[in-house]
């Protein structure tokens, strides 16, 4: 017969500060934020705002998103490593389930770190250069007859945006993999 648990103020307080609860909240926040920003919020903003306002919004939003992903994933990786000793023992064996989870979290940190500190700033810089050149030339970036400089900026922006999108997608896939694992095995460790 199943054990019936009675909720008390004390049990709710313990629940709110337990490491496992904090871990699951960090995971839910990171995964939910990643899915929302990548597949819903960004699309809604793109369809709703003029291009320059959309770019300004992304320029302000994405650094915070990447930083939160890094901080929350770092917390999860630290807790995972301390509560799953197999991670250190078998660090070079990614087929060990606990190690694979650590690798997944490290992937999120690396992908979002590269976006936050390298690719994102370069993308924003290129976007603003392109906007300045549009004003100087009196043409939108995608109009026929733009300058060679604009064509070069378009190529650079496209490449950087593609790299950023792929890094973000790898982070989301890694988070999804981790979520499937913790749904199956839990977060407690041993």
In a structure prediction context, what are the per-residue pLDDT tens digits for the chain, which is 190 residues long?
788 989 999 888 888 889 999 999 999 999 999 999 999 999 999 999 999 999 999 999 999 999 999 999 999 999 999 999 999 999 999 999 999 999 999 999 999 999 999 999 999 999 999 999 999 999 999 999 999 999 999 999 999 999 999 999 999 999 999 999 999 999 988 8
Q: Would you list the domain boundaries of the chain?
A: 24-185
Are 174 and 108 within 8 A, CB to CB? yes
Q: Name the pTM for this structure.
A: 0.93
The CA distance from 76 to 154, in Å, is 38
Dig out the tokens for 153 from the structure.
Answer: 């900026």
Backbone angles phi, psi at 90, to 5 degrees: -120, 35
């Amino acid at each position: 017969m199943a054990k019936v648990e009675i909720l008390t103020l004390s049990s709710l307080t313990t629940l709110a500060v337990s490491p496992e609860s904090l871990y699951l909240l960090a995971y839910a926040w990171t995964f939910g934020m990643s899915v929302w920003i990548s597949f819903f919020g960004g699309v809604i903003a793109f369809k709703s705002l003029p291009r320059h306002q959309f770019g300004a919004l992304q320029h302000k939003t994405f650094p915070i998103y990447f930083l939160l992903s890094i901080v929350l994933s770092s917390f999860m990786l630290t807790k995972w490593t301390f509560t799953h000793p197999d991670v250190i023992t078998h660090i070079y064996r990614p087929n060990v389930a606990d190690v694979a989870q650590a690798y997944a979290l490290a992937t999120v940190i690396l992908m979002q770190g590269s976006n936050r500190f390298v690719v994102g700033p370069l993308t924003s810089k290129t976007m603003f250069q392109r906007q300045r050149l549009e004003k100087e030339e009196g043409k939108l970036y995608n109009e026929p007859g733009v300058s060679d400089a604009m064509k070069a900026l378009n190529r650079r922006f496209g490449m950087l945006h593609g790299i950023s999108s792929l890094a973000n997608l790898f982070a989301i896939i890694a988070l999804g993999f981790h979520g499937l694992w913790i749904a199956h095995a839990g977060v407690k460790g041993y």
